[in-house]
Copies of this chain bind each other. A is one copy, B any other.
Amino acid sequence: MSLNSKKRKLDRSAQDNVYFESYSDVTVHEEMIADKVRTNSYRLGILKNYKAIKGKVVLDVGAGTCVLSIFCVHAGAKKVYAVEASAIAEQAKEIVKLNKMEDKITIIKGMLETVELPENVDVIVSEWMGYALLHESMLNSVLFARDKWLKPGGCILPSVAELYIAPINDPVVEDRLNFWSTVKDQYGVDMTCMYDFARKCIMMTSEIAVNSVTMEDVLSHPAKFAELDLHTVTTEQLESVKGSFNCECFGSSSVNALCIWFSVTFPGEDRPLVLCTSPFKQETHWKQSILYLDEAVEVTQDTKVAGEITLSPSVKNPRHLCVHLDYSIGEYTNKSKTFSMGDGYPDPE
Protein backbone atom coordinates (compact mmCIF):
# COMPACT_ATOMS: atom_id res chain seq x y z
CA MET A 1 0.00 0.00 0.00
CA SER A 2 1.07 3.63 -0.13
CA LEU A 3 -0.91 6.80 0.02
CA ASN A 4 -1.08 10.49 0.69
CA SER A 5 -4.48 11.34 2.08
CA LYS A 6 -5.77 14.85 2.49
CA LYS A 7 -9.12 15.33 4.12
CA ARG A 8 -9.67 17.44 7.17
CA LYS A 9 -12.07 20.02 8.44
CA LEU A 10 -11.03 23.62 8.74
CA ASP A 11 -12.73 26.29 10.83
CA ARG A 12 -13.71 29.51 9.13
CA SER A 13 -11.25 31.73 11.02
CA ALA A 14 -8.32 29.82 9.54
CA GLN A 15 -9.51 30.01 5.93
CA ASP A 16 -7.83 33.30 5.03
CA ASN A 17 -4.61 32.16 6.70
CA VAL A 18 -4.60 28.93 4.74
CA TYR A 19 -5.24 30.95 1.59
CA PHE A 20 -2.43 33.46 2.08
CA GLU A 21 0.02 30.87 3.44
CA SER A 22 -0.38 28.91 0.23
CA TYR A 23 1.25 31.85 -1.59
CA SER A 24 4.27 31.93 0.70
CA ASP A 25 5.99 28.99 -1.02
CA VAL A 26 8.07 29.33 -4.17
CA THR A 27 6.18 26.66 -6.15
CA VAL A 28 3.01 28.62 -6.87
CA HIS A 29 4.98 31.68 -8.01
CA GLU A 30 7.27 29.55 -10.17
CA GLU A 31 4.22 27.95 -11.77
CA MET A 32 2.59 31.32 -12.49
CA ILE A 33 5.70 33.01 -13.89
CA ALA A 34 6.69 29.91 -15.87
CA ASP A 35 3.22 30.01 -17.47
CA LYS A 36 4.28 31.94 -20.58
CA VAL A 37 0.75 32.37 -21.92
CA ARG A 38 -0.29 34.05 -18.67
CA THR A 39 2.79 36.18 -18.06
CA ASN A 40 3.32 37.25 -21.68
CA SER A 41 -0.36 38.17 -22.00
CA TYR A 42 -0.09 40.38 -18.94
CA ARG A 43 3.17 41.85 -20.16
CA LEU A 44 1.79 42.70 -23.59
CA GLY A 45 -1.62 43.69 -22.19
CA ILE A 46 0.11 46.20 -19.90
CA LEU A 47 2.56 47.49 -22.53
CA LYS A 48 -0.24 47.93 -25.10
CA ASN A 49 -2.01 50.14 -22.56
CA TYR A 50 1.01 52.41 -21.99
CA LYS A 51 -1.10 55.48 -22.80
CA ALA A 52 -3.31 54.75 -19.79
CA ILE A 53 -0.28 53.97 -17.58
CA LYS A 54 2.46 56.44 -18.57
CA GLY A 55 3.01 59.01 -15.83
CA LYS A 56 0.11 57.56 -13.84
CA VAL A 57 -0.43 55.90 -10.45
CA VAL A 58 -1.14 52.15 -10.45
CA LEU A 59 -2.43 49.73 -7.83
CA ASP A 60 -1.36 46.06 -8.19
CA VAL A 61 -3.85 43.91 -6.24
CA GLY A 62 -2.25 40.69 -4.91
CA ALA A 63 1.13 41.62 -6.33
CA GLY A 64 2.97 38.40 -5.46
CA THR A 65 6.55 38.73 -6.76
CA CYS A 66 5.66 42.18 -8.22
CA VAL A 67 6.16 41.06 -11.80
CA LEU A 68 3.06 42.98 -12.96
CA SER A 69 4.14 46.07 -11.01
CA ILE A 70 7.47 45.96 -12.84
CA PHE A 71 5.70 45.61 -16.21
CA CYS A 72 3.73 48.75 -15.28
CA VAL A 73 6.98 50.61 -14.60
CA HIS A 74 8.20 49.38 -18.00
CA ALA A 75 5.01 50.92 -19.43
CA GLY A 76 5.88 54.25 -17.84
CA ALA A 77 3.97 54.23 -14.53
CA LYS A 78 4.97 57.10 -12.22
CA LYS A 79 4.13 55.10 -9.11
CA VAL A 80 2.90 51.57 -8.34
CA TYR A 81 1.39 50.48 -5.02
CA ALA A 82 1.86 46.73 -4.79
CA VAL A 83 -0.44 45.20 -2.17
CA GLU A 84 0.35 41.63 -1.09
CA ALA A 85 -0.89 39.81 2.03
CA SER A 86 1.34 36.72 1.91
CA ALA A 87 4.96 36.38 3.04
CA ILE A 88 6.12 36.48 -0.61
CA ALA A 89 6.04 40.28 -0.13
CA GLU A 90 9.54 39.95 1.38
CA GLN A 91 10.90 38.42 -1.83
CA ALA A 92 9.03 41.04 -3.85
CA LYS A 93 10.97 43.77 -2.00
CA GLU A 94 14.26 42.16 -3.02
CA ILE A 95 13.12 41.84 -6.63
CA VAL A 96 12.05 45.49 -6.80
CA LYS A 97 15.41 46.54 -5.35
CA LEU A 98 17.35 44.33 -7.77
CA ASN A 99 15.48 45.96 -10.65
CA LYS A 100 16.25 49.42 -9.19
CA MET A 101 12.60 50.41 -8.90
CA GLU A 102 12.36 51.21 -5.18
CA ASP A 103 11.48 54.82 -6.04
CA LYS A 104 8.63 53.70 -8.32
CA ILE A 105 7.15 50.65 -6.58
CA THR A 106 5.94 50.71 -2.97
CA ILE A 107 5.14 47.28 -1.55
CA ILE A 108 2.41 47.30 1.08
CA LYS A 109 2.11 44.06 3.03
CA GLY A 110 -1.47 43.42 4.06
CA MET A 111 -4.95 42.56 2.89
CA LEU A 112 -6.32 44.91 0.26
CA GLU A 113 -9.44 45.44 2.35
CA THR A 114 -7.50 46.87 5.30
CA VAL A 115 -4.43 48.64 3.88
CA GLU A 116 -4.25 52.40 3.43
CA LEU A 117 -2.85 54.00 0.27
CA PRO A 118 -1.50 57.57 0.34
CA GLU A 119 -3.53 58.50 -2.78
CA ASN A 120 -6.15 57.33 -5.25
CA VAL A 121 -4.97 55.53 -8.37
CA ASP A 122 -5.48 55.87 -12.13
CA VAL A 123 -5.06 52.19 -12.97
CA ILE A 124 -5.70 48.87 -11.21
CA VAL A 125 -3.83 45.82 -12.44
CA SER A 126 -4.38 42.36 -10.99
CA GLU A 127 -4.02 38.70 -11.82
CA TRP A 128 -6.94 37.51 -9.74
CA MET A 129 -8.26 34.56 -11.76
CA GLY A 130 -8.59 31.20 -10.02
CA TYR A 131 -9.58 27.83 -11.43
CA ALA A 132 -12.90 28.19 -13.27
CA LEU A 133 -12.25 31.94 -13.02
CA LEU A 134 -13.91 32.47 -9.65
CA HIS A 135 -12.26 29.94 -7.31
CA GLU A 136 -10.44 31.84 -4.52
CA SER A 137 -12.91 34.77 -4.88
CA MET A 138 -10.06 37.19 -5.35
CA LEU A 139 -12.06 39.33 -7.77
CA ASN A 140 -13.90 40.67 -4.73
CA SER A 141 -10.67 42.32 -3.60
CA VAL A 142 -10.24 43.92 -7.04
CA LEU A 143 -13.78 45.31 -6.90
CA PHE A 144 -13.17 46.56 -3.36
CA ALA A 145 -10.03 48.32 -4.62
CA ARG A 146 -11.96 49.78 -7.56
CA ASP A 147 -14.70 51.18 -5.35
CA LYS A 148 -12.32 52.58 -2.72
CA TRP A 149 -9.16 53.65 -4.59
CA LEU A 150 -9.78 54.01 -8.33
CA LYS A 151 -10.25 57.57 -9.63
CA PRO A 152 -13.41 58.17 -11.67
CA GLY A 153 -12.72 57.15 -15.27
CA GLY A 154 -9.74 55.02 -14.14
CA CYS A 155 -8.73 51.87 -15.91
CA ILE A 156 -8.76 48.20 -14.81
CA LEU A 157 -6.43 45.67 -16.46
CA PRO A 158 -7.72 43.26 -17.60
CA SER A 159 -11.12 44.87 -18.05
CA VAL A 160 -13.44 42.02 -19.04
CA ALA A 161 -13.75 38.33 -18.11
CA GLU A 162 -15.78 35.70 -19.95
CA LEU A 163 -16.84 32.17 -19.03
CA TYR A 164 -17.33 29.29 -21.49
CA ILE A 165 -18.75 25.80 -21.36
CA ALA A 166 -18.75 22.76 -23.65
CA PRO A 167 -19.68 19.08 -23.40
CA ILE A 168 -16.66 16.77 -23.49
CA ASN A 169 -15.74 13.12 -23.57
CA ASP A 170 -12.96 12.62 -21.05
CA PRO A 171 -11.10 9.53 -22.30
CA VAL A 172 -9.16 9.13 -19.04
CA VAL A 173 -12.41 8.44 -17.18
CA GLU A 174 -13.45 5.89 -19.80
CA ASP A 175 -10.06 4.18 -19.45
CA ARG A 176 -10.24 4.20 -15.66
CA LEU A 177 -13.72 2.63 -15.65
CA ASN A 178 -12.69 0.04 -18.25
CA PHE A 179 -9.56 -0.82 -16.26
CA TRP A 180 -11.58 -3.13 -14.03
CA SER A 181 -12.54 -5.26 -17.05
CA THR A 182 -8.89 -5.86 -17.86
CA VAL A 183 -7.91 -7.28 -14.46
CA LYS A 184 -9.10 -10.81 -15.24
CA ASP A 185 -6.90 -11.09 -18.34
CA GLN A 186 -4.00 -9.58 -16.46
CA TYR A 187 -4.12 -11.53 -13.19
CA GLY A 188 -6.91 -14.11 -13.45
CA VAL A 189 -9.16 -12.26 -10.99
CA ASP A 190 -12.58 -11.03 -12.14
CA MET A 191 -13.03 -7.46 -10.88
CA THR A 192 -15.71 -6.31 -13.32
CA CYS A 193 -18.02 -5.66 -10.37
CA MET A 194 -15.77 -2.73 -9.41
CA TYR A 195 -17.15 -0.73 -12.36
CA ASP A 196 -20.09 0.71 -10.43
CA PHE A 197 -17.94 1.57 -7.43
CA ALA A 198 -15.38 3.24 -9.71
CA ARG A 199 -18.15 5.20 -11.45
CA LYS A 200 -19.44 6.30 -8.06
CA CYS A 201 -15.98 7.50 -6.98
CA ILE A 202 -14.92 9.07 -10.28
CA MET A 203 -18.12 10.35 -11.97
CA MET A 204 -20.69 10.66 -9.19
CA THR A 205 -18.34 12.96 -7.31
CA SER A 206 -19.35 16.56 -6.69
CA GLU A 207 -15.72 17.68 -6.71
CA ILE A 208 -14.70 19.88 -9.65
CA ALA A 209 -11.61 18.42 -11.31
CA VAL A 210 -8.84 20.58 -12.76
CA ASN A 211 -7.17 18.93 -15.70
CA SER A 212 -6.05 19.43 -19.28
CA VAL A 213 -8.76 18.83 -21.84
CA THR A 214 -7.50 18.37 -25.38
CA MET A 215 -9.44 19.87 -28.26
CA GLU A 216 -10.26 16.41 -29.62
CA ASP A 217 -12.27 15.74 -26.43
CA VAL A 218 -14.55 18.77 -26.94
CA LEU A 219 -17.84 17.62 -28.47
CA SER A 220 -19.44 20.88 -29.64
CA HIS A 221 -18.77 24.50 -30.37
CA PRO A 222 -18.31 26.08 -26.91
CA ALA A 223 -20.94 28.43 -25.49
CA LYS A 224 -20.16 31.68 -23.70
CA PHE A 225 -22.42 31.78 -20.64
CA ALA A 226 -21.26 34.84 -18.71
CA GLU A 227 -19.38 38.07 -19.19
CA LEU A 228 -18.14 40.32 -16.39
CA ASP A 229 -17.22 43.96 -17.07
CA LEU A 230 -14.79 44.75 -14.27
CA HIS A 231 -15.69 48.45 -14.38
CA THR A 232 -19.33 47.80 -13.52
CA VAL A 233 -19.79 44.34 -11.97
CA THR A 234 -20.65 44.36 -8.27
CA THR A 235 -19.74 41.99 -5.44
CA GLU A 236 -23.47 41.28 -5.13
CA GLN A 237 -23.50 40.06 -8.74
CA LEU A 238 -20.55 37.77 -7.95
CA GLU A 239 -22.73 36.00 -5.38
CA SER A 240 -24.38 34.29 -8.35
CA VAL A 241 -22.85 34.32 -11.83
CA LYS A 242 -25.45 32.62 -13.96
CA GLY A 243 -25.88 31.89 -17.64
CA SER A 244 -27.48 29.54 -20.11
CA PHE A 245 -25.91 27.47 -22.86
CA ASN A 246 -27.13 25.66 -25.91
CA CYS A 247 -24.65 23.48 -27.78
CA GLU A 248 -25.05 21.10 -30.71
CA CYS A 249 -22.78 18.09 -30.85
CA PHE A 250 -20.27 17.66 -33.68
CA GLY A 251 -20.93 13.92 -34.07
CA SER A 252 -21.32 10.56 -32.35
CA SER A 253 -19.69 10.26 -28.97
CA SER A 254 -20.42 9.91 -25.29
CA VAL A 255 -20.70 13.00 -23.04
CA ASN A 256 -19.27 12.21 -19.62
CA ALA A 257 -18.58 15.76 -18.46
CA LEU A 258 -19.04 19.43 -19.11
CA CYS A 259 -15.94 21.54 -19.15
CA ILE A 260 -15.63 25.21 -18.22
CA TRP A 261 -12.89 27.76 -18.82
CA PHE A 262 -12.43 31.52 -19.05
CA SER A 263 -10.77 34.33 -20.92
CA VAL A 264 -9.85 37.84 -19.80
CA THR A 265 -9.36 40.80 -22.13
CA PHE A 266 -7.02 43.78 -22.05
CA PRO A 267 -8.44 46.75 -23.96
CA GLY A 268 -6.51 47.98 -27.01
CA GLU A 269 -6.92 50.83 -29.42
CA ASP A 270 -6.39 48.69 -32.50
CA ARG A 271 -7.51 45.35 -31.11
CA PRO A 272 -7.85 43.95 -27.62
CA LEU A 273 -5.48 41.32 -26.21
CA VAL A 274 -7.18 38.16 -24.97
CA LEU A 275 -5.71 35.71 -22.44
CA CYS A 276 -7.76 32.60 -23.15
CA THR A 277 -7.63 29.30 -21.26
CA SER A 278 -9.62 27.34 -23.85
CA PRO A 279 -8.74 23.73 -24.73
CA PHE A 280 -8.35 25.03 -28.30
CA LYS A 281 -5.48 27.30 -27.21
CA GLN A 282 -2.04 26.72 -25.75
CA GLU A 283 -2.27 25.19 -22.27
CA THR A 284 -2.01 27.41 -19.20
CA HIS A 285 -1.55 26.47 -15.55
CA TRP A 286 -5.32 26.97 -15.13
CA LYS A 287 -5.94 24.03 -17.48
CA GLN A 288 -9.73 23.49 -17.60
CA SER A 289 -12.32 22.77 -14.91
CA ILE A 290 -14.28 19.57 -15.39
CA LEU A 291 -17.78 18.81 -14.13
CA TYR A 292 -18.37 15.06 -14.33
CA LEU A 293 -21.89 13.84 -15.00
CA ASP A 294 -23.16 10.93 -12.90
CA GLU A 295 -23.40 8.82 -16.04
CA ALA A 296 -22.23 9.14 -19.62
CA VAL A 297 -24.85 10.00 -22.26
CA GLU A 298 -24.56 8.93 -25.90
CA VAL A 299 -24.86 11.73 -28.45
CA THR A 300 -24.92 11.95 -32.24
CA GLN A 301 -24.52 14.76 -34.77
CA ASP A 302 -26.60 17.79 -33.67
CA THR A 303 -27.74 16.34 -30.32
CA LYS A 304 -28.54 19.37 -28.15
CA VAL A 305 -26.67 19.87 -24.89
CA ALA A 306 -28.39 22.76 -23.16
CA GLY A 307 -28.98 24.15 -19.71
CA GLU A 308 -28.16 26.74 -17.13
CA ILE A 309 -25.08 27.08 -14.96
CA THR A 310 -24.55 29.10 -11.78
CA LEU A 311 -21.23 29.86 -10.13
CA SER A 312 -21.27 31.11 -6.55
CA PRO A 313 -18.99 31.22 -3.53
CA SER A 314 -19.46 28.28 -1.16
CA VAL A 315 -21.60 29.20 1.84
CA LYS A 316 -19.18 27.41 4.15
CA ASN A 317 -16.00 28.92 2.75
CA PRO A 318 -16.45 31.94 0.48
CA ARG A 319 -13.04 31.32 -1.10
CA HIS A 320 -14.32 27.97 -2.42
CA LEU A 321 -16.38 27.73 -5.57
CA CYS A 322 -19.80 26.15 -5.88
CA VAL A 323 -21.28 25.33 -9.32
CA HIS A 324 -24.87 24.36 -9.95
CA LEU A 325 -25.80 22.81 -13.27
CA ASP A 326 -29.25 22.22 -14.76
CA TYR A 327 -28.94 20.41 -18.07
CA SER A 328 -30.43 18.29 -20.79
CA ILE A 329 -28.63 16.13 -23.33
CA GLY A 330 -30.98 15.19 -26.16
CA GLU A 331 -33.79 13.06 -24.68
CA TYR A 332 -31.99 12.91 -21.35
CA THR A 333 -33.72 15.93 -19.84
CA ASN A 334 -34.17 17.95 -16.65
CA LYS A 335 -31.06 16.77 -14.88
CA SER A 336 -29.22 18.78 -12.29
CA LYS A 337 -26.06 18.44 -10.26
CA THR A 338 -24.18 20.62 -7.78
CA PHE A 339 -20.38 20.75 -7.64
CA SER A 340 -17.76 22.32 -5.45
CA MET A 341 -14.06 23.09 -5.56
CA GLY A 342 -12.21 23.26 -2.28
CA ASP A 343 -8.56 23.31 -1.34
CA GLY A 344 -8.32 19.66 -0.39
CA TYR A 345 -10.33 20.00 2.85
CA PRO A 346 -14.03 19.53 3.41
CA ASP A 347 -15.74 22.76 4.41
CA PRO A 348 -16.72 23.10 8.09
CA GLU A 349 -20.10 21.70 9.07
Point out residues on A near B: beta carbons under 8 Å: 1-8, 10, 14, 18-19, 21-23, 25-30, 32-34, 36, 39-40, 43, 62, 64-65, 67, 70-71, 74, 91, 94-95, 98-99, 127-131, 135-136, 138, 176, 179, 183, 186-194, 197-198, 200-202, 210, 285-286, 343-345
Q: For residue A345, which residues in chain B have a CB less than 8 angstroms away from its CB? A: 6, 8
When the two chains form their complex, are residues A4 and B129 in contact, meaning their CB atoms are under 8 A apart? no
When the two chains form their complex, are residues B344 and A6 in contact, meaning their CB atoms are under 8 A apart? yes
When the two chains form their complex, are residues B33 and A191 in contact, meaning their CB atoms are under 8 A apart? yes
What is the CB-to-nearest-CB distance from A210 to chain B, in angstroms, rounded to a whole number? 8
Give 9 A-B contacts (CB < 8 Å), ordered by A residue. Answer: A1-B28, A1-B138, A2-B130, A2-B285, A3-B23, A5-B19, A5-B21, A5-B22, A26-B198
Q: For residue A65, which residues in chain B have a CB less than 8 angstroms away from its CB? A: 191, 194
Q: For residue A23, which residues in chain B have a CB less than 8 angstroms away from its CB? A: 1, 3
Q: For residue A14, which residues in chain B have a CB less than 8 angstroms away from its CB? A: 8
- Provide the bound-state CA to CA distance between A27 and B39, in Å: 34
4 tightest CB-CB pairs across the interface, nearest first?
A: A5-B22, A26-B201, A6-B344, A94-B193
What is the CB-to-nearest-CB distance from A62 to chain B, in angstroms, rounded to a whole number? 7
When the two chains form their complex, are residues A183 and B5 in contact, meaning their CB atoms are under 8 A apart? no
When the two chains form their complex, are residues B98 and A193 in contact, meaning their CB atoms are under 8 A apart? yes
When the two chains form their complex, are residues A7 and B28 in contact, meaning their CB atoms are under 8 A apart? no
When the two chains form their complex, are residues A202 and B26 in contact, meaning their CB atoms are under 8 A apart? yes
A194 partner, pick from B4, B19, B91, beta carbons under 8 A = B91
A5 partner, pick from B18, B91, B198, beta carbons under 8 A = B18
- Provide the bound-state CA to CA distance between A179 and B33, in Å: 10
- Provide the bound-state CA to CA distance between A95 and B194, in Å: 8
CB nearest to A343 among chain B residues: B5
Q: For residue A128, which residues in chain B have a CB less than 8 angstroms away from its CB? A: 1
When the two chains form their complex, are residues B1 and A7 in contact, meaning their CB atoms are under 8 A apart? no
CB nearest to A202 among chain B residues: B26
- Known contacts A18-B8, A26-B198, A91-B193; decide if A1 and B186 are in contact (CB<8 Å): no
- Provide the bound-state CA to CA distance between A191 and B34, in Å: 12
Q: For residue A179, which residues in chain B have a CB less than 8 angstroms away from its CB? A: 30, 34
When the two chains form their complex, are residues B193 and A1 in contact, meaning their CB atoms are under 8 A apart? no
- Provide the bound-state CA to CA distance between A39 and B28, in Å: 36
What is the CB-to-nearest-CB distance from A96 to chain B, in angstroms, rounded to a whole number? 10
When the two chains form their complex, are residues A129 and B198 in contact, meaning their CB atoms are under 8 A apart? no
When the two chains form their complex, are residues B28 and A343 in contact, meaning their CB atoms are under 8 A apart? no
When the two chains form their complex, are residues B3 and A136 in contact, meaning their CB atoms are under 8 A apart? yes
CB nearest to A64 among chain B residues: B1
When the two chains form their complex, are residues B98 and A2 in contact, meaning their CB atoms are under 8 A apart? no
